[in-house]
Amino acid sequence: MSLALVDCESFYASCERIFRPDLKHVPIVVLSNNDGCVIARSTEAKQMGIGMGVPWFKVKDAFLAQGGKVFSSNFTFYGDMSNRVMNILEGFVPKVEVYSIDEAFLELDSLEENYNIYGFGCHIRGLVKQWTGVPVRIGIAPTKTLTKIALNEVKRLNIPTKVHQITSTKEIREALANTPVNDVWGVGRRLSEHLNRAKIFNALQLADTDPRHIKHKFSVVLERTVRELRGQRCLDIENNLTAKKQIVVSRSFGARVADLKTLRPIVSNFAVRAAEKLRHEKQKCSQVSVFVRTSPFSDHKPQHTGYKTIELATPTNDTRDILIAAKKALLPIFRSGYDYAKAGILLSRFTSETSKQYSLFKDPNEPKENSKFMEYIDQLNAYETQVYFASQNTKRWSPMKQNMTSPKYTTCWYELPVAN
């Protein structure tokens, strides 16, 4: 019984290399929105000591001085490359769970009879590399939590094939003994503090603790983790058909915003984007929440966080309804005198697009919804925004700073790579 976890090596940094062979051994980092902090590093950049999530301005000078290359994030491009990788995996394995933009779980149970699983992993890795240029690593083990451990072993032992399988009790226990407890999937900062206090420092010690005791002392979530570490499968490969339960659009601003006049169109932009995502999911929402907050890093200044939820009488995915709700939520939470650094909108309480539930106080025959209208808008705006709502800020996501983005090599005609 085997599962595999495939993860793309330094994914965003690797993407930036695909059409830039000149960057093969050059240290690369990719930055978050506003070029705020480092969200991906190539192996060379990691070796230079560039940490995950560090503010760019703190490492910028040293990194560039040593010949590093920096990119703003180009999620359109990364998303397209991710789809290509996932499509290949789905072509070879009947059950694939796309877990994140750069990771997928594979169920190999049904292949075990006819294939050598380790060899199969190596084969897939070769094909993905050849067809997309993306280097992947593969961890193979009996449970999801253990595939994460196997993958860590690829890194820790620097396994040249980048594929590692742990099956026997001996292999598993050895890998666990070499894994600090905070590297276990599902154990974050808070839990590992607690576990350390209980004299549990590595994954083997955690696995050897009675799961019932863990459930009593901690939670059912950690109990599952313990069972998974012991080889008992608690988490299945899930198909990716399960509907989303919430949609969030939020951004930090490139510059602080102190007045409602500037803030309102920004929030409207978020609302428009969120409504698009909602229609794409074929869902309707009946709750719209808006939040604004100052920067927790400028602690000498007065801080404020505002959050407000608006209930909608009838579920909707019409941008106009969501815009109205967003404005209604923003008004009471905005306070003048604060420098806001971030805002966002959250849509929740979904119902499927096709089911209709009318308000008691509304005439059910009233042709209120005009879904065709939204359909046309979506078509017009599919590749680039052509049509704006009056309350939007037409200066795209402004104010946001970003100026080191690579071309959309694979999704935009005007930015295709050119071979001379």
Partner DNA sequence: TCTGGGGTCCTAGGACCC
Interface ranges with DNA (CB under 7 A): 32-34, 36-37, 39, 53, 55, 57, 99-103, 148, 184-192, 219-221, 244-252, 256, 277, 295, 297-298, 307, 309, 341-342, 344, 349
* Distance (Å, whole) CA 253 – CA 41: 24
Task: Choose between 163 and 257: whose C-beta lies nearer to DNA.
Answer: 257
User: In the complex, what is the shortest distance from the CB of residue 341 to DNA, in angstroms, rounded to a whole number?
Assistant: 6
Antiparallel, parallel or unpaired: β 163-165 and 246-257: unpaired
Nearest CA among 135, 8, 16, 79 for reference residue 29: 16
User: In the complex, what is the shortest distance from the CB of residue 75 to DNA, in angstroms, rounded to a whole number?
Assistant: 9
Task: Choose between 219 and 232: whose C-beta lies nearer to DNA.
Answer: 219
Sequence-ordered strand ranges (E) for 328-369: 340-352
Antiparallel, parallel or unpaired: β 69-72 and 28-31: parallel
Task: Choose between 27 and 306: whose C-beta lies nearer to DNA.
Answer: 306
Task: Choose between 76 and 369: whose C-beta lies nearer to DNA.
Answer: 76
User: In the complex, what is the shortest distance from the CB of residue 413 to DNA, in angstroms, rounded to a whole number?
Assistant: 25
Task: Choose between 39 and 412: whose C-beta lies nearer to DNA.
Answer: 39
Task: Choose between 93 and 249: whose C-beta lies nearer to DNA.
Answer: 249
User: In the complex, what is the shortest distance from the CB of residue 112 to DNA, in angstroms, rounded to a whole number?
Assistant: 25
Q: Do 307 and 250 meet the contact criterion of CB atoms below 8 Å apart?
A: no
User: In the complex, what is the shortest distance from the CB of residue 166 to DNA, in angstroms, rounded to a whole number?
Assistant: 17
* Eight-state DSSP code of residue 62: H
* Distance (Å, whole) CA 179 – CA 182: 8
Task: Choose between 123 and 135: whose C-beta lies nearer to DNA.
Answer: 135
Q: Where are the alpha helices (DSSP H) in 198-303?
A: 203-207, 211-217, 220-229, 260-280
User: In the complex, what is the shortest distance from the CB of residue 86 to DNA, in angstroms, rounded to a whole number?
Assistant: 13
Single-letter code of the amino acid located at 176:
L
Q: Do 103 and 2 meet the contact criterion of CB atoms below 8 Å apart?
A: no
Task: Choose between 365 and 403: whose C-beta lies nearer to DNA.
Answer: 403
User: In the complex, what is the shortest distance from the CB of residue 311 to DNA, in angstroms, rounded to a whole number?
Assistant: 7
Task: Choose between 111 and 265: whose C-beta lies nearer to DNA.
Answer: 265
H or E element, residue 85 = helix 75-92
What residues have CB less than 8 Å from 394, skipping those under 6 apart?
388
Task: Choose between 120 and 291: whose C-beta lies nearer to DNA.
Answer: 291
Residue keyed to tokens 């009318």: 358
* Eight-state DSSP code of residue 387: -
User: In the complex, what is the shortest distance from the CB of residue 402 to DNA, in angstroms, rounded to a whole number?
Assistant: 10
Phi, psi at residue 327, to the nearest 5°? -65, -40
* Eight-state DSSP code of residue 187: -
User: In the complex, what is the shortest distance from the CB of residue 326 to DNA, in angstroms, rounded to a whole number?
Assistant: 14
Quote the tokens at residue 305.
């966080």
User: In the complex, what is the shortest distance from the CB of residue 328 to DNA, in angstroms, rounded to a whole number?
Assistant: 15
Q: Do 124 and 6 meet the contact criterion of CB atoms below 8 Å apart?
A: yes
Could you tell me how far CA 102 lies from the centroid of its own chain? 9
CB contact burial 248-280 (16+ within 10 A = b; e otherwise): ebbbbbbebbeeeebbbbbbbbbbbbbbbebbe
